[in-house]
Amino acid sequence: MQHVAVNPWVALAYLVAGVCFILALRGLSSPTTSQRGNRFGMIGMGIAVVTTLVTHVPTITVLVEGYDYAALLSAVDTLAVFEIVAAIALGAAIGITTARRIAMTAMPQLVAAFHSLVGLAAVLVAAAAFLNPVAFGIATPVLTPDGGFALINPVSRIEMGLGIAIGAITFSGSVIAFLKLNGNMGGAPILLPARHVINLSVLAAIIALVAYFTLDQNPWVFWTITALSFVIGFLLIVPIGGADMPVVVSMLNSYSGWAAAAMGFTLHNSAMIITGALVGSSGAILSYIMCRAMNRSFISVIAGGFGAATAAGGADAAKTDRPWKRGSAEDAAFLMSQAEQVVIVPGYGMAVAQAQHVLREMGDKLKAEGVRVKYAIHPVAGRMPGHMNVLLAEANVSYDEVFELEDINSEFAQTDVAFVIGANDVTNPAAKTDKTSPIYGMPVLDVEKAKTVLFVKRSMGGVGYAGVDNDVFYRDNTMMLLADAKKMVEEIVKALD
């Protein structure tokens, strides 16, 4: 099948699509402009898809040597168009159904699943290009006594090797992340013996084979790179604990972008290159921001997750034997209604209980009684970057009331009530005081400085993803509200009435 020569209009269309993607990222940087950002992203992707289809699926009508190739080639093109349209329709149906049915609490799992699909797509495209390089325009046919073969361009081999390696790592790593986020695997790190030596050895082997692939396109080299990349993706994510999942999700997002960019070079598609580079770079920047939020280096996250040494931090079940105070919904309602300022700290427990809507209702009732209500967001609260922001936005919480850690932390000392709903590790003062704690050095919300801390938790027996007990539970100014988060807030709303 022939390809239409690239013309300025095609380049212009891809440029417009790229600008739309940039505007989409800019819009998604703030909850107030996120819907506009999504629209730009949809428009850009629509332009890119239509342009690619028009460019790469032409109708060929030529006669050669009296043979009617037109009918044959037209039939091939018709079949190709049908297959593409069917694939788009199937993907759209799955996407629309998933988007309508997925709960906001399962959004991290959905993101991890989408990353795995992007990685798998990169692997499949690279495999198709390797098996039929002439069709992709990346090889030169070479005649030999035994029939001949297609000699893949050395630069294309580099692109192909990097694309399939990053794509395979993204796929297997995202699958493990999905299983951890979905509860099919435990959130605690799974530490293999000599894991650093194994990981470094496998990574070194992949790099060496990609370099060798530029000299020898033997199939065993290509498929060995693929197999080792799938393995290292699994090995890299298994030792990472639940507390580091926001960084992992962001990191895999970056990987999926670079895999798409590499395949864009192989396919000579500038839209894929632009899109992949934007996703890859933005994901890398976000990973860096997440690591800074936890006061950890990117290498330390990859080397092993929080919770690898919980025993050293003294976070055992014995701490739950310490005295603590239990309160009721009526107690919480009275304390908050008498306060001048209440700071609400949401965490993954709120997400699991889907309590964001009733939480906003509670905030509205407190504001009606003259109480200042603010929401404090930790960068890694939940299981993906911005998880709490998305949930509060879904509940129509005013953006003016939502504050990040660095903007709200200084206010806790002047706050009457800190209402913590399902947030453990991000409020744990051990991160500031206990050098043996696995979360030591991570910036946390200083809720313990408030005059009163109301802590919503299912039971005293559980700990956060880091496996570390929270000293705030046992302080004199803390009242524990033990119940399902949504049920407790509903009871508080009734008490406020």
Residues carrying an active site annotation: 425
Place of tokens 């302080």: 475
The torsion region of residue 137 among left (phi > 0), alpha (psi -120 to 50) and beta comes to left
What does each C-alpha distance from 147 to 132, 135, 143, 150, 221 come to in angstroms? 16, 18, 6, 11, 22
Q: Which helix (H) or strand (E) holds 139?
A: strand 139-142
Q: How far apart are CA 472 and CA 462, in angstroms?
A: 14
What does each C-alpha distance from 142 to 138, 152, 460 come to in angstroms? 13, 10, 71
| Cβ-based neighbour number of residue 115 at 10 Å | 28
Asked whether 245 and 177 are in contact (CB, 8 A), the reply is yes
Q: Diameter of the chain by CA atoms?
A: 95
In our burial notation (b when 16+ CB lie closer than 10 A, e otherwise), range 120-159 reads: bbbbebbbebbeebeebebbeeeeeeeeeebebbeebbbb
Those residues with Cβ within 8 angstroms of residue 472's Cβ, 6 or more apart along the chain or in another chain: 420, 427, 428, 429, 447, 448, 453, 455, 478
DSSP sequence for 260-326? HHHHHHHHT-HHHHHHHHHHHHHHHHHHHHHHHHTT--HHHHHH--TTTTTTTTT-SGGGGGS---B
Place of tokens 């290159």: 273
Asked whether 337 and 492 are in contact (CB, 8 A), the reply is no
Q: How far apart are CA 53 and CA 93, in angstroms?
A: 19
Asked whether 153 and 291 are in contact (CB, 8 A), the reply is no
Three-class secondary structure of residue 452 per DSSP:
strand
Q: How far apart are CA 181 and CA 177, in angstroms?
A: 6
Q: Which two tokens stand for residue 438?
A: 């696995």
Those residues with Cβ within 8 angstroms of residue 125's Cβ, 6 or more apart along the chain or in another chain: 163, 263, 266, 267
Q: Which two tokens stand for residue 319?
A: 């701490």
Q: How far apart are CA 253 and CA 246, in angstroms?
A: 11
Asked whether 388 and 422 are in contact (CB, 8 A), the reply is no
Asked whether 339 and 375 are in contact (CB, 8 A), the reply is no
Helix 34-56 / helix 270-293 crossing angle, nearest 10 deg: 150
